[in-house]
């Protein structure tokens, strides 16, 4: 039996403010550890009064009954568009801005020098939403080298 979800909902609404269990997201019984939902309209309530909304690819992983990760990957973007979106995400989620600014300077110089985009990783670890049990917020960039839209911003919400 596959650990991937065969049914692809077109929209999800999850409330993870007071819990982060399989039941809080309508986890399908047939799915074991990883549940991937491609291209879905998502509305997710998170601790601290925060919301994630938009069309994203979702991945949820669970150990036992508790979710340990929810990731939301945004559509592929140009470097400029990914930088702008990341700036909005950094501001909203309270992430440090300097790693993003440093990445942008380095990637522009590197691309001008002929370097490949996937040589410029970005991972910004942010605060925990509501101590001590809320998720930690992380912004990462995933890459599709050779594409005119090579950057895929993603937010990871990790319970650990």
Residue reference for tokens 């550890």:
33
Cα separation, 22 vs 31, whole angstroms: 10
pLDDT, position 77: 95
Instruction: Please count the other Cβ atoms lying within 10 Å of the Cβ belonging to residue 25.
Output: 22
CB 9 within 8 A of CB 31: no
pLDDT, position 8: 73
Dihedral sign, Cα of residue 109, residue 111, residue 112, residue 113? positive
Terminal Cα distance for the chain, rounded: 27
Residue 12 φ then ψ, to 5°? -135, 145
- Average pLDDT of the residues of the chain: 92
pLDDT, position 144: 80
pLDDT, position 1: 41
CB 117 within 8 A of CB 79: yes
CB 27 within 8 A of CB 34: no
Q: What is the mean pLDDT of residues 67-90?
A: 96
Q: Phi-psi region for residue 77, left (φ > 0), alpha (ψ -120 to 50) or beta?
A: beta
| pLDDT higher at 7 or 35 | 35
pLDDT, position 7: 62
Q: What is the mean pLDDT of residues 118-142?
A: 91
Q: Judge if the upstream peptide bond of residue 132 is cis by omega within 30 degrees of 0.
A: yes
Give the domain ranges of the chain.
11-73, 79-153
* Rounded to 5°, angle at Cα 109 from 104 and 114: 120
The structure's pTM equals: 0.90
- pLDDT of 3 > 70? The answer is no
Q: What is the mean pLDDT of residues 53-71?
A: 96
Digit-coded pLDDT (tens) for 33-44: 999 999 999 999
Q: What is the mean pLDDT of residues 123-128?
A: 94
- pLDDT of 160 > 60? The answer is yes
Q: What is the mean pLDDT of residues 58-80?
A: 96
């Amino acid at each position: 039996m596959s650990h991937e979800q065969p049914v692809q909902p077109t929209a999800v609404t999850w409330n993870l403010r007071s819990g982060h269990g399989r039941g809080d997201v309508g986890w399908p019984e047939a799915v074991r550890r990883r549940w991937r939902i491609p291209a879905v309209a998502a509305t997710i309530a998170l601790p601290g009064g925060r919301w994630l909304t938009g069309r994203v690819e979702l991945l949820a992983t669970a150990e036992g009954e508790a979710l340990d990760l929810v990731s939301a990957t945004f559509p592929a973007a140009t470097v400029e568009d990914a930088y702008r979106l990341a700036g909005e995400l950094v501001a909203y989620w309270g992430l440090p801005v300097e790693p993003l600014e440093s990445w942008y300077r380095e990637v522009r110089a590197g691309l001008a020098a002929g370097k490949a985009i996937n040589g410029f990783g970005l991972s910004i670890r942010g605060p925990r939403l509501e101590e001590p049990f809320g998720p930690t917020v992380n912004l990462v960039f995933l890459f599709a080298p050779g594409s005119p839209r090579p950057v895929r911003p993603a937010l990871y919400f990790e319970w650990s």
